[in-house]
Structure 1
Amino acid sequence: MEELGNSQGPRGDAVVAHCREFMLYMKEIQTTLREEIKSACEYRPFEMCDYSARIANEICCKKLEYVIEKMDAMQLNIEPSTNEV
């Protein structure tokens, strides 16, 4: 950095070295940002989540259990009627 403050002006090789270092930092930042953006775009918690499917299956199972329970009750009510006839 002293080279940049020299009264005769900076040496060309010093400027080139600083520019090269700066560009390497910029490239590293761009790479990091690209990776972060890519990982953020790939992160889809609700699309890959099976919560909705599991809840829907549980609700269907509860409905089936309820229907089976009612049909069993109907069958118990029908059996005495058929035995009397």
Structure 2
Amino acid sequence: MKSSSGLSPRVLMATPLFTAGLWAMPDARPAVRRSLQAMATWMRTPHIQRSTAVLEHIWSKTTTSGYHDVLTYLEETPEFLPY
């Protein structure tokens, strides 16, 4: 994977990792969390930490309700800006 802007391929992994986290089964969530935390440490950007917080919110809702309507939970999430 090459980038003409000089960005690391890790930067390109944020979106697919977040998407995987949205649909992760409970036993896979710690691996997603660890990967995002490692990326946040490496990149030192707040958006990765915010992504983790959004996932934590969604995971807490799906754990208690058993219902998995991600779009509804994203709309409930404060400060979430879909794009």
- Normalised by the size of structure 2, how large is the TM-score? 0.28
Q: Please state which structure has a larger fraction of its residues in helix.
A: 1
Structure with more relative contact order (C-alpha pairs < 8 Å, separation 6 or more) = 2
